[in-house]
Structure 1
Amino acid sequence: MLGFSQSSVSSQNSRGTKRKWVPEEDAALVACMVDLHNVGTFNANTGFKASYLNELEKMLEKVLLYAMLKAKPNLESRIRTLKMDWSIIYDMLNGKNNSGFGWDEHR
């Protein structure tokens, strides 16, 4: 039940308004995506079905009051950014070209 004012979550850039995400919003987004995956209604072989963004928007409206997150462009853009950021870590832990870097669960 978090509320954010528009002035605290956006800034002006050359293309218009760009939203700044706070950690609580990222955590809520990831938690809702996990819930959506576990329900299984929007699962597809390669990820989520096309209409998952609208369902995700509805879920986040209940958790993040006043955040005014829209499926497009807010959620779509943030998910793309998170994928890019986390792909680096995924590649480090599971990738083929990781130069011997890896996780040793015994140490």
Structure 2
Amino acid sequence: MLEKVLKAKLNLESRIRTLKRDWEIVYDLLNGKDNSGFGWDKHRQMVVAEDVVWNSYI
């Protein structure tokens, strides 16, 4: 039982690290220093940008 709890804890910690990393990428995209051209569409609930901006980002 203890082994399962420890394994679950490690998996949760790993997942939290992944979520924090992914959130940091999105936050920087919208609000960070290199955010020019990106925005948030409240109606569609998604990141929006002109094609030129996306192409230069990718």
With normalisation by structure 2, the TM-score equals: 0.47
The higher-RCO structure (CA 8 Å, 6+ apart) is: 1
Going by fraction, where is helix more abundant, 1 or 2? 2
With normalisation by structure 1, the TM-score equals: 0.29
